[in-house]
Amino acid sequence: MTRITAEQESRMANWTSRIPGDEEHYIISLDFFHQMHCLNLVRKALWPEKYGPMELGDPVLNDVPFDHVDHCVNIIRENLMCNADITPNVYRWDADRQVAIPHFDVLHTCRSLDSINQWAVEHQLLEKWDPRKPLGTGS
**Ordered per-residue pLDDT tens for the chain, 139 residues:** 999 999 999 999 999 999 988 989 999 999 999 999 999 999 999 999 999 887 755 556 666 667 889 999 999 999 999 999 999 999 999 999 999 999 999 999 889 999 999 999 999 998 888 888 888 765 5
* 77 to 38, 46, 51, 87: CA distances (angstroms): 11, 17, 23, 18
Confidence at residue 65, expressed as pLDDT on a 0 to 100 scale = 67
Whether 138 is in a domain gets the answer no
- Domain-located, residue 84: yes
Residue 137: phi, psi to the nearest 5? -75, 150
Domain membership of residue 83 (yes or no) is: yes
pLDDT at 64: 63
Query: What's the half-sphere exposure (Cβ side, CA atoms, 13 Å) at 85?
Result: 13
Q: Would residue 134 count as lying in a domain?
A: no
pLDDT of residue 96: 97
CB 18 within 8 A of CB 26: yes
pTM assigned to the model: 0.80
Q: Is residue 103 part of a domain?
A: yes
Task: State the DSSP code for 88.
Answer: P
Residue 129 belongs to a domain: no
The count of domains in the chain is: 1
pLDDT at 21: 87
φ, ψ of residue 17 to 5 degrees: the values are -100, 155
User: Per the domain annotation, does 130 fall within a domain?
Assistant: no
Question: Residue 90 has what pLDDT?
Answer: 96
**Structural domain span for residue 66:** 2-122
**What's the residue count for the chain?**
139
The answer to whether residue 98 sits within a structural domain is yes
CA–CA dist 22, 25 (Å, integer) = 6
